[in-house]
Amino acid sequence: MIKRKIDRGEIVKILKQRKEISGEEIAQLLGISRTAVWKHIKTLIKKGYPIRVSKKGYGLLEKANYLFEEEFTEFPLKVYYFKEITSTMDVARKIAEKGEEALVLAEIQTSGRGRLNRSWISPSGGIWMSLILKPHLDLTSSSILTYVAGLATALSIEENTGIKVNLKWPNDVLFEEKKLAGLLLEVQGEPDKVKYVIIGIGINVNNLISHIEKGAISIREILNQEVDRKKIVITLVQHLKNLLSLNREKILSMWKEKSSTLNREVRVITFDREIIGRALDIAEDGALILKTEEGIQKVYSGDCIHLRASV
């Protein structure tokens, strides 16, 4: 038999298609030895796949809801999975410097963080990911990426769960004013272009969070059931890439349609001041336009607090 290097994802795919299958059948389907099949099975079990081993063969004990690399056999980017790490952003930065476009996923983050280095609680069951891309953008245009990432996250959640969500400026996805997901963007640039961008996304999916953080909620807590995290990740990346093909005006228009910030009173806290006003619009350069007692002001970053509902 000619030796063939296979992706363990091929074995996982076969196990999902059959209730039970022998090692000999898997070997024939993949063109490898039964010994090679067993070695791959042992590796998958060690990784955490609930595989039943019997005299008749192998089978999955339960419906898998994992984010292992083997779950992404047809994914367009290389996937790095970690059972537990400090932060996907930390790992993604090292990978990005090697010139790769990739997706970094973790089951648990011990030092997950959001904007301004705030702690992000990242237990098992959520989606904790960092996407490394090399978009064809100049530095002045990179501000659109926050809006693209927020939109892609919202669209993926809605598509896979039926939940209707809103976008809070600058980087939160909300369900009825509770945080469902958050974004973190890091851009590395050269004088005339973006070298790479790392888009960090945290989504409360099957984890329980509302008892820990009053202002947060998870998809499981909304629907009272678990959902397929892999589908959310895959469609999120698809939406993100599709959105990057649109012009800036269209992206901002779509973001505004889902915004819960516009047309309401807000307080924006920046590094050196606090601004209270009515959020009117998003400028072409990505700034939030506020109507304040001092007149119209543009804010490019800061913490936004919603003061009362839109009218």
How far apart are alpha carbons 229 and 184 in whole angstroms?
Answer: 19
pLDDT confidence of residue 114: 62
The region of weakest confidence among 4-18, 32-46, 225-239, 273-287 is 4-18
CA nearest neighbour of 38 among 11, 17, 20, 19: 11
Give the pairing type, strands 274-282 and 265-269.
Answer: antiparallel
94, burial (CB in 10 Å: exposed 0-12, middle 13-18, buried 19+)? exposed
pLDDT confidence of residue 47: 84
CA nearest neighbour of 284 among 139, 173, 140, 183: 140
**Strand partners of residue 274:** 269
Token readout for 4 is 């063939």
Token readout for 242 is 């599709």
The answer to whether residue 117 scores a pLDDT higher than 50 is yes
pTM of the model: 0.89
Give the pLDDT band of residue 118 (cuts 50, 70, 90). Answer: low
For residues 227, 229, 230, 235, the Cα torsion angle rounded to the nearest 10 degrees is 90
CA nearest neighbour of 306 among 201, 207, 210, 169: 169
State the amino acid at position 117 in one-letter form: N
**Strand partners of residue 291:** 278, 296
The radius of gyration of the chain's CA atoms, rounded to the nearest angstrom, is: 22
Q: What is the pLDDT of residues 148-188, one digit of tens each?
A: 999 999 999 999 999 999 999 999 999 999 999 999 999 99
The answer to whether residue 113 scores a pLDDT higher than 80 is no
How far apart are alpha carbons 144 and 295 in whole angstroms?
Answer: 25
How far apart are alpha carbons 204 and 179 in whole angstroms?
Answer: 9
Q: How much is the mean pLDDT over the chain?
A: 91
